Amino acid sequence: MKLGWLYPVGDWNPQLLRELKGRLKPRNLIISAAISLLGQFVLYMSYVVQIPQLRADGSLPMSDKYCTGGSEYSYYHKCLADAAGNLLVDWQKWSLDLFLALSLIGIFGLLVAGTYLLINDLAQEERRGTLNFIRLSPQSAQSILLGKILGVPILLYLIAISAVPLHLWSGLAAGIPVGRIFSFDGILGLSCLFFYSLSLLFGLVSSALGGFQAWLGSGTVLGFLWIAAIKPVINNSLDWISIFSPVLILQYLIAATGIESTNSFSYLNIEQLHWFFLPVGLGMVGLGSALILNYSLWTYWCWQALNRRFHNPSKTIFSKRQSYLIVAGVEVTIIGFAFSENYNRLLEDNFGILLLYNFLLFLGLVVALTPQKQALQDWARYRKQRQRKNLLSSSLVRDLIWGEKSPVIVTIALNLAIASTMLVPWIFTQLDGRDWLPALTNLAISASLILVYAAIAQLVVFMRTQKQGLWIIGALAALVILPPVILGLLAIEPSQAPLLWLFTAFPYAAIKYTSISSTFLALLGQFSVLALCTLQISRQVKIAGESASKALLAGTK
């Protein structure tokens, strides 16, 4: 098959041309067309067989979801006939259900299958060794990765495009304005850009997982989208999950028809979605704007990480400067969803979810910001050369705050300060006065625990081993999972031994049973562990600096 018409594409993006030439082959195109047409036919016929029919004796069925009479029960209506005895069918509702089914298949198909294809493609490039050759090309990381996003799922795009006529026809037949249909398609496209960008980032940083990474990534996206699609709005920070799902927009496409579909999403309570008391879920414009802003913001940060990591895999995923902005952005987002005019939930409900978000965020930051062993050795040698200066000099402080090769503990501490500063006003405005002290105590214990985890992760880096990222993740997973599991196996409840539970990743489970003295002992114990880890890190940095300096001097002789 001649693809000469594609060569102008290569002038704009050579990587895209490479991907298209490898995939737009007759066999692949025929298979894709067959999958699309057969899939649409099967879906269409599955709804055709649901159309109510007269019984064998010519009588009317009692009720059906696509009949036009009065409501019998649930979504079923009494069946009626016209003057000629023909069964009256609610074609608008039938078309709407077909449109919604096609839309849901499109959402999950594009996002899950596209995620798998992109991650698997990067894994194959890594195994073949061609990814390093691509990195050496004069193209920018943005051009190469954009070529991947546009080219790798090209057959998936063709399948989706071939379904547009049925998608558009069923939507118009259901009475959905064409503007709303295209708005939904645009938001779906933006969601693809976000999830595909995130998939590329995951593929770049998880190469140690080998062939399993594509299944893990696509499975995670599938689970996340399923949860986001079925989770109702409950006016806490978990509502942030909902605005990552294009499914939310479908409710306002249904509303535009003026009918109630059997696939209605009204139970999601989308109209109750608020952010800092702004009713963003009250209409399609507000909800669509929220989804667009959310996708755009986090797509931007994905690309910041992609630009850093693609040409230099040894770099941290984010710089320390970027981490401060990311933490501030996440805090503003999740705290906005946690505000409620009628706060009547327990501390463990809303505040506990905020703590969980922050705990996961900071575990991710520890992994994303911890420099590799070679980078730490380079920094240690640099510090060794400046050893005549005071250890508390401005250059050292500047390195610890901004330097990408320096240990990560100070940066995590500053990010914890940013997060805590933004959480404290929420505590005082949303919680009852009697909950202020437990909440602040919980915040302090969680922050000190995260610092301990960061210090232990930093020590893991100094181990003489490969795949340090996996070791860091494994160490953090053990610290998070093992203590509560051991206490659970020993049948030690938070109410029985609250002090022990304060040293686990879930201290809020024991806060209400804890005395002031127990809290003080927990903080003292955590700071003692942190101090010991910090001393060990300083010792390791000093040893690394001396070893690197000796090796450098030996090489110059």
Question: For residues 357 and 334, is the Cβ–Cβ distance under 8 A?
Answer: yes
The residue from 279, 303, 327 where one domain ends is 303
Q: Which residues contact 321 (CB under 8 A, 6 or more apart)?
A: 402
What proportion of the chain, given as a percentage, has pLDDT over 90?
A: 47
- Whether 1 has a pLDDT exceeding 60, the answer reads no
pLDDT at 230 over 80: yes
pLDDT at 139: 87
- What DSSP line would sit under 468-490, residue for residue? HHHHHHHHHHHHHHHHHHHHHHT
pLDDT of 545: 66
What pLDDT, on the 0 to 100 scale, is given for residue 221? 95
In this predicted structure, what is the pLDDT of residue 359?
A: 93
Q: How many Cβ atoms from other residues are within 10 Å of residue 553's Cβ?
A: 9
Which of 168, 410, 191, 154 minimizes the C-alpha distance to 292?
191
Residues 257 and 381 in one domain: no
Has residue 48 been placed in a domain? no
User: Do 208 and 330 belong to one domain?
Assistant: no
Q: What is the pLDDT of residue 77?
A: 85
Pairing of strands 63-64, 76-78: antiparallel
> How confident is the model at residue 374, as a pLDDT?
83
Round to whole Å and give the CA distance between 131 and 152: 14
Q: At what angle do helices 409-430 and 394-402 cross, to 10 degrees?
A: 70
CB-based contact 15:147 (threshold 8 Å): yes
Residues 27 and 158 in one domain: yes
On whether both 299 and 337 belong to a single domain, the answer is no
Amino acid sitting at position 165: P
Which whole number is the average pLDDT over 85-112? Answer: 92
Rg (CA), the chain: 28
Long-range contacts of 65-73 (CB under 8 A, 24+ apart): 65/93, 65/262, 66/90, 66/93, 66/94
Tokens linked to 465:
């081993």
Does the structure show a pLDDT above 60 at 326?
yes
In a domain, 74, yes or no: no
Burial of 521 (0-12, 13-18, 19+ CB in 10 A): middle
202 and 229 housed in the same domain:
yes
**What is the reported pLDDT for 4?**
61
User: Among 67-81, 257-271, 355-369, 456-470, which range has the highest average pLDDT?
Assistant: 355-369
- Residue 440 within any structural domain of the chain: yes
Where is the domain boundary, 275, 303, 331?
303
Which helix (H) or strand (E) is 362 found in, with range?
helix 347-369
* CA 521/CA 503 separation, integer angstroms: 10
Q: Is the pLDDT of residue 447 over 50?
A: yes
Q: Identify any residues that bridge with 78 across adjacent strands, giving them in sequence order.
A: 63
- Report the pLDDT value the prediction gives residue 59, as an integer from 0 to 100: 79
Q: Using alpha carbons only, what angle is made at residue 198 by residues 196 and 200, rounded to the nearest 5 degrees?
A: 70
Q: Would the CA dihedral through 318, 319, 321, 324 be positive or negative? A: positive
User: Do 411 and 293 belong together in one domain?
Assistant: no
Tokens linked to 315:
């770099």
Asked if residue 252 and residue 114 are part of one domain, the reply reads yes
pLDDT in tens, 385-429: 666 555 445 677 888 888 888 889 999 999 999 999 999 999 888
pLDDT the model gives residue 229: 87
Model pLDDT, residue 2: 57
Determine the average pLDDT of the residues in 493-497.
Answer: 85
Q: Is the pLDDT of residue 169 over 80?
A: yes
**Residue 162 placed within a domain:** yes
Contacts of 326 (CB under 8 A, 6+ apart): 301, 318, 365
Mean pLDDT of the chain: 87
CA diameter of the chain: 106
Together in a domain, 213 and 344:
no
Same domain, yes or no: 245 and 320: no
Range of the domain at 505: 314-551
pLDDT band at 557 (very low <50, low <70, confident <90, very high): very low
- Tell me what the mean pLDDT of segment 285-310 comes to: 95
- Residue 443's SS3 state is helix
Residue 512 pLDDT > 70, yes or no?
yes
- What's the rounded mean pLDDT across residues 516-539? 90
Give residue 171's pLDDT: 95
Q: Is residue 81 part of a domain?
A: no
Tokens in use for 498? 């609250």
What was the pLDDT predicted at 46?
94
pLDDT of 34 higher than 90: yes
Instruction: Report if residue 68 sits inside a domain.
Output: no
Based on the domain organization, do 486 and 365 belong to the same domain?
A: yes
Once rounded to an integer, what is the mean pLDDT over residues 74-100?
A: 87
Q: How many domains in the chain?
A: 2
The reply to whether 297 and 260 lie within a common domain is yes
DSSP assignment string, 90-147? -HHHHHHHHHHHHHHHHHHIIIIIHHHHHHHHHHHHHHHTHHHHHHTSSS-HHHHHHH
> 527, 409 in Cβ contact below 8 A?
no
Let me know if residue 379 belongs to a domain.
Answer: yes
Which of 303, 324, 345 marks a domain boundary? 303
Say whether pLDDT at 6 is over 80.
Answer: no
* Most confident residue range from 85-89, 183-187, 282-286: 183-187
State yes or no: pLDDT of 439 exceeds 90: no
Mind giving me the DSSP string for 381-434?
HHHHHTTTS-TTSHHHHHHHHH-SSS-SHHHHHHHHHHHHHHHHHHHHHHS-GG
Six-digit token string for 468: 């340090």
Mean pLDDT, range 517-545, rounded to an integer = 87
335 located within any domain = yes
Residues 184 and 295 in one domain: yes
Mean of pLDDT values over 337-362: 77
Stretch 222-237: mean pLDDT, rounded? 89
DSSP labels, 509-529: GTGGG--HHHHHHHHHHHHHH
Give me the mean pLDDT over the 147-156 stretch.
94
The model's confidence at residue 37, banded by pLDDT at 50, 70 and 90, is very high
